[in-house]
Amino acid sequence: MNQQKKESTLSLFSWAMYDWANSAFFAVIQTFVFATYFLQSVAENETLGSTLWGNTIGAAGLVIAICAPFVGAIADQLGRRKPWIGWFSLLCILATAALWFVAPSQDYTVLALVLIFIGTVGSEFAIIFYNAMLPDLASEERMGRWSGWSWGLGYAGGLACLVVALFVFVDVSNPPFGLDKTSAEHVRATFLLVAVWYALFSVPMFLFTSDRPRTDLKLKAAAKSGWSQLKQSIRNVRKFKYIVRFLVARMIFIDALATVFAFGGIYAAGTFDLGERDVLIFGIGLNVTAGIGAALFAWLDDLMGSRTTMLLALVGLIVTTTGVLLVTGLSWFWVFGLLLGIFVGPVQAASRTYMARVSPPDLQNQMFGLMALSGKVTAFLGPLLVGWLTYAAGSQRIGMSVIVVLFMIGFALLYTVPDAEKARPDIKSP
């Protein structure tokens, strides 16, 4: 693609708006509103509910990890990305809207878990193809800032939808539209809000963002060719050694990040006696600083490179996480906790940019599928280690120290990976 054709601000901004749209599902459904509603109002008890929830999210992650590289390889053969994004987005949107029918009763436990599984798979697969569009849209000189800006926009969109959900529907004495609180309709309405939000703000990307042309291959032929290409990539793994090394490093520090978000609220409540409202405010604040960090570090990504940006962000995560674990005063916990958020967004956004810069043009969907695999395949490890160590030591602080160790290991491995410019000649398509 001609470099001049990549510099369409409308096309790029419309692409970034999909991050704003998609993030509502993760903020409102997976993290705050529906997750809490399921544990408190649907599941038999919070202990069983937590187990069922974790198993369902884990099962969805396993499906994504196993299927993503193959699905990406097929998409590489077919050319276009938008149809894949569209169908997977629709899958998530419909599943999210159907959560309205999950009434506050144990009778709806299975329905809730099935819909969450479908929604998670749909949203995660859509992101694979969305990420793979970046190198076709942004020039080499501007790729980092657009990756960072869209990541920041994603945090902003998730929080904006969450604010509307809380202060228009949930946290009000008289819900709008005559919604009945006794049957939790005011809470269930937020699930419809997310579905509409996701659908509405996805439209600009489909209308104004350019896509690759479709190839002449039929789906069956593309599947066969994609499987052959994936096997060839595995056989020629040495040609992709820097990508493999990067993905292993990313697997470890993304696992650490996931553990931060999984246990952050639990640690705040258990060690500093924060109540539910304070934990929610802390979670919102963490997302705000993460969005700000992603937007600010976006310039650094283009100026100094994705690898350097990730390394600096990991140093920041190591320092701030250590601070959170060492301080005993609540004020200092807030300071280090919110500072930690600044480095969360950049390490994720720069990961996407690095992969966009080093992936062979004809294998980009496959490579982003492998990146999705790296983010899911060991997602259980961090939480498992924290749980075991906390139990063995009888201390949350000692248990959470696993996160610092994982960040340090991720940093050490990433340090051995060259900058994208040096890695690219080594990973030409076989």
Kindly state the tokens that stand for 320: 């701030």
CA distances from 193 to 28, 153, 410 (A): 10, 19, 38
Rg of the chain taking only CA atoms, in angstroms: 21
Q: Is residue 101 part of a domain?
A: yes
The CATH number assigned to the domain holding 112 equals 1.20.1250.20
Neighbours of 276 (CB within 10 A): 10
**pLDDT for 271-302, tens place per residue?**
777 665 676 677 778 878 888 888 888 888 88
User: Which residue matches tokens 């201390």?
Assistant: 395
Split into its structural domains, the chain has a count of 2
Domain that holds residue 149: 6-235
**pLDDT for 217-257, tens place per residue?**
666 666 666 566 666 656 655 667 788 888 889 889 988 88
Q: Is residue 157 part of a domain?
A: yes
Helix (H) or strand (E) holding 277: helix 276-304
Distance CA 206, CA 210 (A): 8
Identify whether residues 281 and 165 lie together within a single domain.
no
Provide the residue count of the chain: 430
Q: Is residue 327 part of a domain?
A: yes
Q: Is residue 315 part of a domain?
A: yes
Q: Is residue 337 part of a domain?
A: yes
Own/partner pairs, 216-221, CB within 8 angstroms, 24+ separation: 217/77, 217/78, 219/74, 219/78, 221/77
* Residue at which a domain ends, from 190, 218, 235: 235
Distance CA 108, CA 156 (A): 32
The amino acid at residue 279 is V
Mean pLDDT, contiguous 10-residue spans, the chain (430 residues): 56 92 89 81 80 79 79 72 92 97 94 95 89 80 81 87 87 85 91 97 93 68 64 62 85 85 68 69 81 84 88 95 89 90 88 83 70 68 74 79 92 89 52
**pLDDT for 90-134, tens place per residue?**
999 999 999 999 999 999 999 999 999 999 999 988 988 888 888
What is the model's pLDDT at position 8? 80
Distance CA 294, CA 304 (A): 15
Identify whether residues 301 and 385 lie together within a single domain.
yes
Look at residue 181 and give its three-state secondary structure. Answer: coil
Q: Where are the alpha helices (DSSP H) in 133-184?
A: 134-137, 143-164
* Residue at which a domain ends, from 201, 218, 235: 235
Distance CA 381, CA 256 (A): 9
Distance CA 65, CA 379 (A): 10
Distance CA 214, CA 84 (A): 12
What is the model's pLDDT at position 100? 96
CB 281 within 8 A of CB 333: no
Q: Is residue 192 part of a domain?
A: yes
Identify whether residues 127 and 178 lie together within a single domain.
yes
CB 341 within 8 A of CB 290: yes
Q: C-alpha angle 226/430/350, rounded to 5°?
A: 80
Helix (H) or strand (E) holding 191: helix 185-208
Identify whether residues 186 and 315 lie together within a single domain.
no
What is the model's pLDDT at position 428? 43
Identify whether residues 209 and 246 lie together within a single domain.
no
Sign of CA dihedral 188, 192, 194, 195: positive
Identify whether residues 288 and 340 lie together within a single domain.
yes
Identify whether residues 86 and 170 lie together within a single domain.
yes
Identify whether residues 296 and 342 lie together within a single domain.
yes
Identify whether residues 363 and 422 lie together within a single domain.
yes
Q: C-alpha angle 136/131/289, rounded to 5°?
A: 120
* Residue at which a domain ends, from 185, 205, 235: 235
Look at residue 80 and give its three-state secondary structure. Answer: coil
Residues near 262 by Cβ (< 8 Å), separated by ≥ 6? 382, 383
Q: Count Cα atoms within 13 angstroms, Cβ side, for 109.
A: 16
Identify whether residues 116 and 200 lie together within a single domain.
yes
Identify whether residues 201 and 264 lie together within a single domain.
no
What is the model's pLDDT at position 427? 44
Q: Is residue 1 part of a domain?
A: no
Identify whether residues 11 and 110 lie together within a single domain.
yes
Residues near 25 by Cβ (< 8 Å), separated by ≥ 6? 92, 96, 119, 123, 194, 198
Q: Is residue 288 part of a domain?
A: yes
